[in-house]
Amino acid sequence: MTSQDKILTTAGPYQFLAAFESAAPKTVAVFRNLLPYGQQLIHVRWSGEAVWVPLGEQDFSLGFENHTSHPGAGQILFYPGGYSETELLFCYGGVSFASKMGSLSANHFLTIIEGAENLRALGELDQRIQAEKPDNSKGF
């Protein structure tokens, strides 16, 4: 794995190194075009142990690839929109991805490879936190 396959990101007081998933190349390309990226994380309402980043009604003309409804801790998903708004989902524990409309699937495009021991602590912060722009000097 090369440094081009990874990204270092900061969420609240924690840093995470994540690897891009080769099974989701279109999603990875869309996300890379958003960089540098900084946004607020909000605890999910319907899905379990995750925080999300709303992207509103943005249409990235992205279909499903490497999609799942039941991601594991450390997986980061990109929901391309449709039944619910476009969003990023940062999973720290058990998740059954859903909206008030029911079960959803989203593209698994990033996996935490360092810092996973801080995922639960991130999710349990009892306030909204500001995710900082990634440190692109670590591989971009």
DSSP character string of 2-46: -GGGEEEEEETTEEEEEEE-TT-HHHHHHHHHH-S--EEEEE-SS
DSSP SS3 for 127: coil
Q: How confident is the model at residue 139 (pLDDT cuts 50, 70, 90)?
A: very low
Of 100, 110, 43, the C-alpha closest to 71 is 110
Measure the CA–CA gap between 106 and 38, rounded to whole angstroms.
Answer: 21
Range of the domain at 54: 3-138
In this structure, of 32-36, 107-111, 122-126, 136-140, the range with the lowest mean pLDDT score is 136-140
CB 120 within 8 A of CB 93: yes
Q: Are 118 and 10 in contact (CB under 8 A)?
A: no
pLDDT tens per residue, range 84-133 = 889 999 999 999 898 888 898 999 999 999 999 999 998 887 544 444 55
CATH code of the domain containing 79: 2.40.100.20
User: Any idea what DSSP says for residue 137?
Assistant: G
Number of domains in the chain: 1
